Chains A and B, each alone.
Chain A
Amino acid sequence: MPPVDRLMENPHWNWMIVVYFFLGGIAGGCAFISGLAALFGGERMRPVLRWTALIPFPLLSISGILLIADLGRPERFWHMMIQNRTGWPMFKYWSPMSYGSWLLLIFSGLAFVNFVAVIIDDRQGGFFGRFSWLPRLIRGGVLGTTFQVLLMVFGYLFGSYTGALVAATNQPIWSDSTMLGALFFISGVSAALSLLILLVGWRSHDHAVVHQLETADNWAMLLELAIIGLFLVLLGGIAWPFLRHRYGITLLVGTVLLGLLVPLLLHWQPRLLGRVTPVLAASLALIGGYALRYSIVYAGQEIPIDGRMQG
């Protein structure tokens, strides 16, 4: 193959997008777990539900700010949802960035309601007392169940759309696999479970709950390992140049080894490093989740593969 002039231009999706993918993944994962815990976990899951209500909205707020700041013309962010010439909604179901904008908006709304309900619960009386109907409305009965299912579905959709976003391009690696949606989703769930293990373990002494979170996290991490394997297999011939590059090494060392295998070992041997073991396992899993986004986002833009990129 002769050397070629530049084929693909680099979109320069930088650290703001990496952080957005990471925080958004945790927010989506939290909502997904919230639904599972509310529907199947019973009363004992209350501390988990409290955190899964508190975490997503602030993360989504930061995500929104990062996304707007990353635009070439931030003041036009609303063009994603409203056609500036007609005032009609802007929506393309076949464009992940288009439907992702709507997902962010709707999911943020649901997360806001869930967040406010916990604040009202915590500060009964006074100004907040006037809204005491809200927590009751979204916590029990048919409406409560519907709300949790909606939250869970939007958490899943939001947690996975970022993978579809990068896959719907012509960039090397990103567009060479259809596994990135699944990978980003399951990594978000694993990161959310790790964060919950840290927070629930810190504020509550219900070991049964922490143990159940660890059990779920083990499943998530095993699924993530399997999906990373499938992702690399489906990359075919370009997997090797990717893995040899520093971004591939980041995936192998940062995500697979430190973020998945070591936490799995620490969950399996919880007394291996004494009291610090669960904290270390959860912290490493979170770092692994960030390393995954960092690796994939930059690999698709900077690794020269098949002459498609010149870096």
Chain B
Amino acid sequence: MAQALGFYTDTTVCIGCKACQVACHQWNDLPAELAEQPTGPDHPGETRPLTGMSYDNTGSLSDLNWRHVKFIEKSQASDGTLSYLPTDASRENLQWLMMSDVCKHCVQAPCLDVCPTGAIMRTEFDSVYIQQDVCNGCRDCVAACPFGVIHMGGPENEGKGIAKKCTLCYDRLQHSLAPACSQACPTASIQFGPIEELKTRAEARVEQLHSMGMSEARLYGADETILGGLNAFYLLMDEPEVYGLPSNPKVPARNVGPTNLWSLGTAILMGIAGLVSFRKRRMDTFAEQRREVR
């Protein structure tokens, strides 16, 4: 395998320009998808460009949006109460938290683990890739992904969904090109390269931020505690949940053994109960008793 490649996203320098989203759409030939539109006489037309929730106009990752810039509006009232709701009218001391979300290309990828067709594979760059001609749309990967990355769909399937997500621009990597999003990022918020090199860079940046008094700076997914490590890891300025990231995602296969053990125990108990209930002698005795009653 070639060395592991991936993304380090420094959210402190993201300016929410969405160049990454545009570049992803352009390179992967993904059509625009507008978020759910408000309807009614006050909202003429079908194509309002914003969701009405901050400056977000795509809402979430989807089958057509393999990158999604999140705009989290954090405010703190004078009494210290925190608010993250853009609709909260009493907001004070507003702070933007912006983050370009994408598939994490997990080292222990839940989607890859459960995929029953082998459509989801690990590439020579340690990224997680969905083979479009293999996937049959069972959606097990959707249920397994703790980040809500995978969506079903794609215009080429005429509405019949198969799994879609970021490919880490596998086609570009094969030609020694950086992924389109990282190349387009004007602030180097999205950095691409060998994972080990990125980790060193990220740790130095956290130290720098801490020395500047920003003690809330932390890395998410850079070490092995989250699904063996994320090949798209983040520098965050708040709890992971604030960014819509689970603090402790799990490998789905962890449940298979214990679940099967409980099932086996139950089957043994039911087997004994069935043996007791169906014993020939017991049945004959019961029939005999009924005859006597008559």
Contacts and interface: CB of A to CB of B under 8 A. Distances in A.
A185 B267 CA distance: 8
A44 B284 contact: yes
A6 B134 CA distance: 28
B246 A308 contact: yes
Interface string B257-294: 01111110111011101111111101110110010000
Given A6-B60, A72-B152, A79-B117, A44 B82 contact: no
Contact of A181 (B161, B241, B262, B270): B262
B116 A95 contact: yes
A84 B290 contact: no
B117 A37 contact: no
Contacts of A45: 278, 283
**Size bin of chain A's contact surface:** 35 or more
A250 interface: no
A5 interface: yes
Nearest to A175: B255
B203 interface: no
Interface in A75-132: 76-77, 79-80, 83-85, 90, 92, 94-98, 101
A90 B283 contact: no
A7 B256 contact: no
A71 B138 contact: yes
B16 interface: no
B186 interface: no
Contacts of B84: 2-3
A97 B275 contact: no
A211 interface: yes
A97 B138 contact: yes
**Size bin of chain B's contact surface:** 35 or more
B146 interface: yes
A289 interface: no
A10 B116 CA distance: 18
A189 B133 CA distance: 39
B136 A5 contact: no
A44 B283 contact: yes
B90 interface: no
Contacts of A95: 113-116, 140, 253
B60 A5 contact: yes
A209 to B, nearest CB: 7
A208 B287 contact: yes
B9 to A, nearest CB: 15
Contacts of B134: 76, 79, 84-85
A216 interface: yes
A32 B241 contact: no
Contact of A11 (B143, B260, B275): B143
Interface in B126-176: 133-140, 142-152, 157, 160-162
A179 interface: yes
A21 B277 CA distance: 26
A181 B140 contact: no
A178 B255 contact: yes
B205 to A, nearest CB: 24
A307 B239 CA distance: 14
Interface stretch (A164-172, A236-244, A268-276, A278-286): A164-172
A36 interface: yes
A202 interface: no
Contact of A219 (B72, B140, B162, B277): B277
A181 B85 contact: no
Contacts of B151: 9
A134 interface: no
Interface string A37-60: 100111011000000000000000
Contact of A80 (B117, B162, B267, B286): B117
A33 interface: yes
B147 A156 contact: no
A8 B274 contact: no
A211 B144 CA distance: 44
B263 A185 contact: yes
B140 A11 contact: yes
A98 B116 contact: yes
B119 A5 contact: no
Given A73-B162, A97-B116, A215 B277 contact: yes
Contacts of A90: 116-118
Given A6-B244, A42-B280, A98-B114, 18 more contacts: A7-B246, A9-B148, A11-B140, A45-B283, A72-B139, A76-B135, A94-B113, A94-B253, A167-B259, A168-B114, A170-B110, A170-B145, A170-B246, A178-B261, A182-B266, A189-B270, A207-B287, A215-B277
24 contacts: A3-B84, A7-B244, A10-B142, A36-B274, A40-B280, A41-B280, A45-B283, A72-B135, A80-B116, A80-B138, A160-B267, A164-B255, A164-B260, A167-B252, A169-B114, A169-B144, A170-B249, A170-B250, A175-B255, A179-B262, A212-B278, A212-B283, A216-B274, A223-B270
Interface of B: 60, 70, 72, 74, 82, 84-85, 110, 113-119, 133-140, 142-152, 157, 160-162, 239, 241-246, 249-250, 252-253, 255-256, 258-263, 265-267, 269-271, 273-280, 282-284, 286-287, 290
The 5 closest A-B pairs by CB, nearest first: A72-B137, A5-B244, A42-B280, A219-B273, A76-B136
